[in-house]
Amino acid sequence: MHKFTARACEFGLDVDRSDAVEPTRSLIINTKASIRRAIEAAGVPHTYVWMGYFFGYGLPGIGQVLSFSPPVDKAVVLGDGNANVVYVDEGDIATYTVLAAGDPRAENKTLYVRPPANTVSHNELLELWEKKTGRTFRRVYLSEDAVLKQIQEASVPLDSILLSIGHAVHINGEHDKLEIDPASGVEATELYPDVKYTTVEDYLNRLL
């Protein structure tokens, strides 16, 4: 029997290090942080799993936050499109989580699943898709002020949440800022180098 349980709980943002704006701060960040503190206060052995964006969410729209299909003639980009974003295959997340669940090296730490080949900017992702399709897409760049306005005015609550997460990732560059402290975190691909993870390019080939 494993002596501790891995808890896969962090999609997109690390709740202890995120400066996400509302409504994500109240609905997600603060709630998950309080759960973490309760786990720790109770002395429950644990592993938090952080995995960036799921492939199934971030890649069908080729990185567009509110689109779930590839661009036709234009692509909407939050910020300047240069912040790095981490994308991870759902099956790979499960593999790393199962491995970490019985690994004392991950006990009471955060397991960061951020495969090197899957850390790309929105501009790089769009360029890769253009090469694969042979098409060129017009970029519509939204400034931070424009994104914050959309968050406040969104008529669909989920859109506000997705945009505020996108603001944290694409504009504030939170995926770029995730320096791992060995005392509290481990990197999945370094801990388990033999796992052959699915790459962003592998997934995009499925969309052709």
- pLDDT, one tens digit per residue, over 44-69 is 899 999 999 999 999 999 999 999 99
Q: Kindly tell me if the per-residue pLDDT of 4 is higher than 80.
A: no
Q: Residue 90: which residues within 8 A CB-CB, separation 6 or more?
A: 54, 55, 56
Q: What is the pLDDT of residue 11?
A: 73
| pTM over cut 0.85 | yes
- pLDDT, one tens digit per residue, over 164-189 is 999 999 999 999 998 999 999 999 99
Residue type for 16, please? D
What does the CA dihedral 161, 96, 112, 85 come to, rounded to 10 degrees?
Answer: -50
Rounded to whole angstroms, the Cα distance separating 201 from 27 reads: 33
Tell me which residues are annotated as active site: 32
* pLDDT mean over 76-82: 98
Q: What is the pLDDT of residue 52?
A: 93
Q: What is the pLDDT of residue 145?
A: 98
Q: What is the pLDDT of residue 6?
A: 43
Rounded to whole angstroms, the Cα distance separating 184 from 181 reads: 6
Enumerate the domain spans of the chain. 5-207
Core vs surface per residue 102-115: b (16+ CB within 10 A) or e = ebeebbebbbbbbb
Residue type for 196, please? K
Domain range 5-207, CATH class: alpha beta
Token pair, residue 84, equals 């790095």
Q: What is the pLDDT of residue 5?
A: 57
pLDDT more than 70, % of the chain: 95
